[in-house]
Every structure is written in C-alpha cells, then in structure tokens.
Amino acid sequence: MDVILRQDVERVGQAWSVVKVKPGYARNFLLPQGLAMPATERNLSRLETERAVQAARVAKERAAAEAMQGRLNALSVTLPRPSGAEGRLFGSVTNEDIAQALQAQGITIDKRKILLAEPIKELGVYLVPVKLTQELKVDVKILVVKS
C-alpha cells in the first residue's frame, strides 16, 4: 500500500515522501496515529504544496539545530553524585538527569533525544551523543564527580 508520510518515521521514511508499506501497518498504525495519509490523486496534489512548506520549516529547524550544536559543543555538564570508595555510584546517571542538568544551564532538550546506551554507573568523563535532527548529532561532555 502506498502512503504519504506526514512526519518522519524511523525505518520507514521522511516526511512528505511516498512510501510503500504493508497494508496492516498502514491501516493499524500509520493512518490512525496521523503519521501518514493514503496516496490518492487528491493527496498527491496536496503533497506538492506541503513539500514547499515543509522545506521552509526544515531549513528553519536546521538553522536552530546548528546554533544549538555550537552551544552544546562549548558546554560541559558536571553532575555531582554520591559514590563509594572505588568510584561506583550509589545509583546511576540517566538521560533524564542529563536533560535536567542541561535545563539548569538554560538548554532545553527532550530526554528522548539524549542517546545514552546505558545509564552511567561510575565516576568519570563521558561523551554522550544528543540527536538534534535526524542528520545532526552532537556529543556533550558529561563529568560525573563525587559529591
């Protein structure tokens, strides 16, 4: 089944592109969630106008993401945590903790955009990737120190 994606869908395609998906996936997930619309003649003609609007929006978001990338490259976040004698933390540092620390420094980033593979459980310096856009990622320097 051919559908027109309204938003970027991971492993399927980018917004305002026509993709072929299985009918059940379109019928049960993409269409009810508002992520896609059927690829009819009327919707295909609407697609052309929406692409122009989307291109302008993407350019604006990319400029904002590049500005944010500059701020994040120059930033290092220090997180004081209680730890044992060998440097193991009494708990862990999660992507939510990093998002709150960035929020305290005036940078708002959704915790789902912080790509922490697993929680940090030891003291040290870490480079944590942050996904600003689908193509643009930046590493943020995280210092976990003993409190």
CA dihedral sign of residues 122, 98, 112, 50 = negative
pLDDT tens digits for 63-81? 999 999 999 988 999 999 9
Q: How many domains does the chain have?
A: 2
pTM above 0.75, yes or no: no
Does residue 111 share a domain with residue 93?
yes
Assign 9 a pLDDT band (cuts: 50, 70, 90): very high
Q: Residue 28 above 90 pLDDT?
A: yes
Domain housing 83: 69-146
Shared domain for 79 and 50, answered yes or no, is no
CA–CA distances in Å: residue 87 to residues 27, 74, 79, 128: 51, 27, 14, 19
Per-residue model confidence (pLDDT) at position 5: 93
pLDDT for the residue 81: 93
Domain with residue 114: its CATH number is 3.10.430.100
Both 44 and 77 in one domain: the answer is no
36 vs 34: CA distance, rounded Å: 6
